[in-house]
Structure 1
């Protein structure tokens, strides 16, 4: 009887996550019903009605709290991912800003040479020049990107299966990329100018500028210089990245309502998805860098997006559009892997009270730990463990009375016994 009750309650799908009087009434034997049965049912109906009305009234507030929760988790995950790969981002920026093709004037031969010279001339901390503004700015940038993608996908996803039509996936990714430019462009222009100023600080009297000096000098309009190139880079990136990431999780790694992926699998899916997204958008990133960096004395200046692209092609050739491409792959691929893996881990560790992650066990798998993935649904696991506890305390729990001359052998898998039926003595 106890096991039946536990299995019954574990399989309930009440949105509130609470047990009402009517839930207990369902497990009672019909012979126990009495004159108060009608009153019990009426109380249960009234309780359920009140819960539904309260739920409707709090719907708007809960939606705001849910968005704020997504935003906070996305901020933490974005800052973590950006910090992990920031040295690669600095190398990428300096390679893209290197304009001369004459050997005598080239600062860096390749990305590895660039990293070595930065450490040699500026110290190890030189690889983190401008990291603080990056961490401050990347939090809202990644948060709005992940939040918009989640909201648009949730709007068009099937509520039962989670399936979504590919054009809607593309729409979700593109919307996320477009919205993030509000934060991305000011962040990028400040970060780029901080990253390249170390190149000439050792050989000239040019003083190092702080992030606040750059912001005040540029002004509000100046902070959005090159925004069209930034938009041209971020929208295609997200259109490629998010659908690829979700299809890798579902189709390659086999994620389903009853199988949650481990951290390594999430990182791998994010890293693989970031490779084509990063490399194919490198030309737009090169143009954006050239527009946003402060031109030094004697360097080429550009009138706009089209003029910049034409000038680079005319003076440096087509290969110049892929400068820093390998570094961009090495940066973007693990960065978004770290970000998305961190975001999903934080969603599981810090669920919003009352959300699906916190209250509803349907379709949720046992939490994955480390490298392992979880396959069994939580209701089954909880019920199984509860049954084991009951049988450990009382082996006779739930056993029917046997006719004379027969005895109960046991249930397979419990108490070390084999068999599962009554046998003659």
Structure 2
């Protein structure tokens, strides 16, 4: 890992994001439609069966999310690796201030998510609204949705608070479990190989993918209620259907901000969650939980597996280039250091004890 540069991490993260978005995007579209407020009306028949439209246009909005996910993922991994190294350097294992590794991983992932979400939120709003468009419309669904925000572009950042509120606990749970499982699996594999290091790219990627899949599925299930709220807020931002709820007893600015949310959102996450419970019960907050856990297991496994494989490949390539440097290739065995005559030998006299 010491041979990796920020460019390596950016490239590995971007490659992982691009690969995963193409493969699991249809599952993400289905999850968005399941969690939408209009799911029953748009995608359910009277007899309870699903309409065919539920499974049409599953790649709607993929262009916008791929374009933004690449820099967003690069920013996440760069920040995560930097924070993890920085915290470990500031609080070494043998210092008087003890900080367990799970706490280090949780803090590093939280800081990385705040940076990533700031870049990702507009694309996430566009994506989720594009996923709900009728598949019969021609042209780019992302551009069609973008036209809805021309009069008020600030609405593209509605849902940043909800997105961060979902991703912070998600990564805070996932990454400590992921790092722990990966370390255990690496040690177990190393022991089976007789103490030899696990240096195969495919082998490291597979261990990383399994660890990430296990950690991601459980974390996704737990944070599904926040994901449902985030989906409703972002869909409301696209439709403009987000009236200000009456709050006559709200006197302080802090209370108003908590109630109305941040980034100009008209309804806070608390308000949306309360409405969901009132209409659909607790089960409404867990709508799509099984699908989300399944596609997150697949997506996280591919995402971090591709990232680890790409990062390890770039690390090995950089080390091989350094080993092949022309300076290091010189035959130093023929170079004599401190042996032989020089002009100083002719001018410096021997000491008295050297005369004997």
The two structures have a TM-score, normalised by structure 2, of 0.68
**Residue in 1 aligned with 2:119?**
183
Alignment of 1:11-26 (within 5 A): none
Cα shift at 1:311:
0.9
Pair 1:323-2:262 in alignment: no
Unaligned runs of 5+ in 1: 1-14, 16-61, 361-425
Q: Quick one: which of 267, 270, 273 aligns to 2:209?
A: 267
**Residue in 2 aligned with 1:155?**
86
SS of the counterpart of 1:85? helix
Partners of 2:285 and 2:33 in 1: CA distance: 14
Alignment of 1:240-389 (within 5 A): 240-254=173-187, 258-260=197-199, 261-294=203-236, 303-351=267-315, 359=322
Partners of 2:18 and 2:39 in 1: CA distance: 34
Mapped contact 1:170–1:239 kept (Cα < 8 A): yes
SS of the counterpart of 1:323? coil
Partners of 1:216 and 1:99 in 2: CA distance: 22
Change (3 A) 1:271 1:115: farther
Rg larger for: 1
Mapped contact 2:107–2:172 kept (Cα < 8 A): yes
Partners of 2:102 and 2:39 in 1: CA distance: 43
Change (3 A) 1:308 1:267: same
- Kindly provide the CA deviation profile for residues 2-59 of structure 1, in whole angstroms up to 9, marking residues without a partner as x: xxxxxxxxxxxxx9xxxxxxxxxxxxxxxxxxxxxxxxxxxxxxxxxxxxxxxxxxxx
Partners of 2:238 and 2:88 in 1: CA distance: 50
SS of the counterpart of 2:315? coil
**Residue in 2 aligned with 1:37?**
none
Q: Quick one: which of 138, 141, 150 aligns to 2:72?
A: 141
Partners of 1:114 and 1:329 in 2: CA distance: 21
Pair 1:131-2:62 in alignment: yes
Partners of 1:72 and 1:295 in 2: CA distance: 32
Mapped contact 1:173–1:243 kept (Cα < 8 A): no
**Residue in 2 aligned with 1:32?**
none
Alignment of 1:184-223 (within 5 A): 184-198=120-134, 210-218=141-149, 219-223=152-156
- Kindly provide the CA deviation profile for residues 341-387 of structure 1, in whole angstroms up to 9, marking residues without a partner as x: 111111232238766x8658xxxxxxxxxxxxxxxxxxxxxxxxxxx
Larger relative contact order (Cα-Cα within 8 Å, sequence gap ≥ 6): 2
Q: Quick one: which of 4, 13, 20 aligns to 1:74?
A: 13
Partners of 1:296 and 1:247 in 2: CA distance: 40
Partners of 2:71 and 2:240 in 1: CA distance: 37
Change (3 A) 1:231 1:296: closer
Pair 1:97-2:36 in alignment: yes
**Residue in 2 aligned with 1:236?**
169
Alignment of 1:25-36 (within 5 A): none
Mapped contact 2:33–2:54 kept (Cα < 8 A): no
Mapped contact 1:185–1:223 kept (Cα < 8 A): yes
Cα shift at 1:268:
1.1
Change (3 A) 1:210 1:145: same
**Residue in 1 aligned with 2:103?**
167
Mapped contact 2:129–2:238 kept (Cα < 8 A): no
CA RMSD of aligned residues (A): 3.4
Mapped contact 1:81–1:339 kept (Cα < 8 A): yes
Partners of 1:222 and 1:295 in 2: CA distance: 6
